[in-house]
A and B are shown apart, each in its own frame.
Chain A
Amino acid sequence: MATDLRRGRLTPLGWAGLSIGAAIMLAPLIWTLLLSLKNNAELVGHSEAALHGPYTLHNYAAILGNSLTLRWLLNSTIVALGTTAGVLILASLAGYAFARLEFPLRRTLFVLVLLGLAVPSQAIILPQHQLFAWLHLHNSYPGLILPGLIAPFSVFFMTTYMRGIPRELDEAAMLDGASRWTIFWKIIVPLTMPAQSTLAVFTFLGSWNDYWWPLISATRSDMYTLTVGLAAAQMNYAQTSGLGYLMAQAVFASIPIFIVYVIFQKQIVRAMAGTAVR
């Protein structure tokens, strides 16, 4: 299938269909970008003013002029990277254990992990908030990162991937005297890199875009993540009298995600196509 596409076997109708689809997908993004480059006052009466100049970077200057914006950017980066690193480590270790090791209640524990998939995060938000309050972890990086490490899907994902790696590799390494840790670290982990990168991308994106938990855990503005900080910076009637600023915020917040996407495009596409687990 992929080979066929590379050979350019799309018919003109196919190209037309894809072009229309791409245009439909791009239109709101371009509209957002154009709105972000317009003066707010111009947009109050006529949002179609975005279709012609003059354009200005004033809204972006206002975002960067806020002394806390860079702090929020740093907070989001620390939280997203911390969560991603933690999930990769825990999910890999747990995945290896469930895929390779024999220990009491292994199946039961795995089922319990899978049950975690059925529990929506909103259902546990109150006890979770209470727990973090008792531990005095609100308004701290651990408070923002630790809940993200509860990742049953990631454990399931890594377990499934590791089960697909032939056991003969482990056995050969054991015959050569390798320990469990050496096998995990030097043989299994390198073989799971495609899955690790896919998981990393999705965990990073999820953590970067998270709004609900940071909203109630980071209640001091110097600990806001970018999503919460930008929302707090909005005027009350942003959708009417501050439309340009609102759109500039949306563009600004998505730039890091865009960069991640450009760098990890291959992994994301592979993950979307469901081929990363092969």
Chain B
Amino acid sequence: MKRAAAALLALFALGSCSRSDGKTHLYLQRFFGECGAEYGGSTDIAKAEGECGIITTMIDRFNAENPDIRIDVNVVAWPGYPQLTAQVAARDPPDLVTMHEGVISDYALKGLLEPVDDYLRQAGISPNDFTEAGRAGVTIDGHAFGLPWDTHGGLFHVNTALFAKAGLMRGGKPVLPNSADEMIAQARQFEQRTGKAYLIQSNVGDPAYAARNLYTYMMARGAVLFPDARHIKLATPVGVEVATFFRNINAQHLGTLNMDTPAAIAAFINGEGGIYPTGTWMIGSFEQEATTPGRPLYRSYAVFPYPRLWGQHVEFVSGHSWVVPSRKRSPRQRAAIARFFKFMAAHNYDWARTGHIPAFRAVLDDPRFKALPHRDDIASLASIGRPLPSNVQRQNAIEGIVGEEAVAAFTGQKSIERALSEAERRVNDLLAQVD
């Protein structure tokens, strides 16, 4: 009995071990998964693939190049915000955290994140080095609250073999529409000539898809989605017109219905439709299909930002960033954070190999970036990308509500006016509760 108790106490003690190795320790918390089995200990960033592989290798490389600093990595279950909030509540937040730019306001406006202007200055990084989308994504009231790391948003992933069959290729490139009417006309032509859906859509369990479409084309029409930080405005003539456009696509059976994300991805990979509007993060998987002989997408894949259908060519985007939660830190830790920022900025190209758009202007012009498949076609996302206003909190939750109601409007489950009004009411109720 005593032995068992002693063993139990010893095991308890395991949980509170600490190290003293003379190094400056930074506690980094990230998502993107765990792939230590494949990449653990590797420092060859060029050989790493995928978000997890590249980020794992980059951090190992930083540790190898900075022997006086040790980054202790904590990989959290996606997206990691419940854990971060719990850590903040327990007054034990990490030193560096991966954060979606749309979430920064939730923490920054409560004083839970440090402005990183000083770290950027120490690292020799100017906010002018960032792309427009990157800078807008991390800046609140003139202060940067994170190191922008990438920009991601929706893209039109195109099956060029089906586009050719539909007579929608010119000079080896797909012809994308320039107006809403042109898109409907193209979709009809595509459907008639191929017998397949023009748009593959993930309307089920993927509110981000519909929200992205609504935000993007309302922004293009010059709509002010958030007149102030506490209110959204969707039930407007512009909102109704955009929603009506997508309702028409579905009513005329020009897009797939009843598909969730995995089903839509499988449909696109198997050549069951012309365009799959989804994010930058799928480029790697689709490119792999496009370079595998025998697959339906073999040599038949192209990708572009959302086309301009009305007004300005702009697109709703978000991005990943590195933020620094507020807590007491030593000068050495602060210097180590600045060095980490410098390292990450210097390796922004490596991260751009994931398919995300780089957050630094210099990388957009880097020949290595331009040489990556399709990057020349999608690089404009960095300049046309528009995040939601950085002073609006609860952007993730808002996207869920807007997406849910937008799907109901697009698919005819609710009248367009009712769906948009309910989205407005629900979002405004949510924002009214924010401290």
Contacts and interface: CB of A to CB of B under 8 A. Distances in A.
B9 to A, nearest CB: 10
B77 A232 contact: yes
B11 A67 contact: no
Contacts, number: 116
Nearest to B73: A221
Contacts of B111: none
Contacts of B269: 44-45
Contacts of A47: 262, 266
Interface stretch (B88-96, B232-240, B331-339, B396-404): B88-96
A216 interface: yes
Interface string A239-253: 111010000000000
Nearest to A217: B86
A223 to B, nearest CB: 6
A78 B86 CA distance: 23
B204 interface: no
A69 to B, nearest CB: 9
B311 interface: no
Interface stretch (B27-35, B121-129, B135-143, B363-371): B27-35
Nearest to B260: A239
A92 interface: no
Given A215-B82, A216-B82, A235 B75 contact: no
A45 B265 CA distance: 7
B40 interface: yes
B78 interface: yes
B373 interface: no
A111 interface: no
Interface string A126-170: 100110110000111110000000000000000000000000000
A274 interface: no
Contacts of A222: 15
B89 A141 contact: no
A228 B261 CA distance: 24
A172 interface: no
Contacts of B37: 61-66
A232 B75 contact: yes
Contact of A220 (B50, B74, B77, B281): B74
A259 to B, nearest CB: 21
Nearest to A245: B33
B287 interface: no
B33 A219 contact: no
B89 A129 contact: yes
B51 interface: yes
Given A62-B37, A67-B36, A215 B266 contact: no
| B34, B37, B76 pick with most chain A CB within 10 angstroms | B34
Interface residues of A, number: 46
Given A142-B12, A239-B262, A46 B76 contact: no
B288 interface: yes
Contact of B36 (A65, A130, A133): A65
A82 interface: yes
Contacts of B35: 62, 235
Nearest to A229: B34
Contacts of A188: none
A41 B36 contact: no
Nearest to A242: B33
Given A216-B82, A232-B76, A240-B265, A45 B34 contact: no
Contacts of A240: 261-262, 265, 285
Contacts of B281: 236-237
Nearest to A74: B11
A85 B51 CA distance: 42
Interface in B274-293: 281, 285, 288-289
A138 B92 contact: yes
A147 to B, nearest CB: 13
Interface in B1-33: 8, 11-12, 14-16, 29, 31-33
Interface string A37-75: 000010011110000000000000111111110000000
Interface in B66-115: 73-78, 82-83, 85-87, 89-92
A97 interface: no
B266 A45 contact: yes
B261 A236 contact: no
Contacts of B180: none
12 contacts: A44-B285, A46-B266, A64-B37, A82-B8, A140-B15, A141-B12, A222-B15, A223-B15, A231-B77, A232-B33, A236-B51, A240-B262
8 smallest CB-CB distances across A and B, nearest first, come from: A65-B37, A216-B86, A233-B34, A133-B90, A231-B77, A235-B33, A45-B269, A140-B15
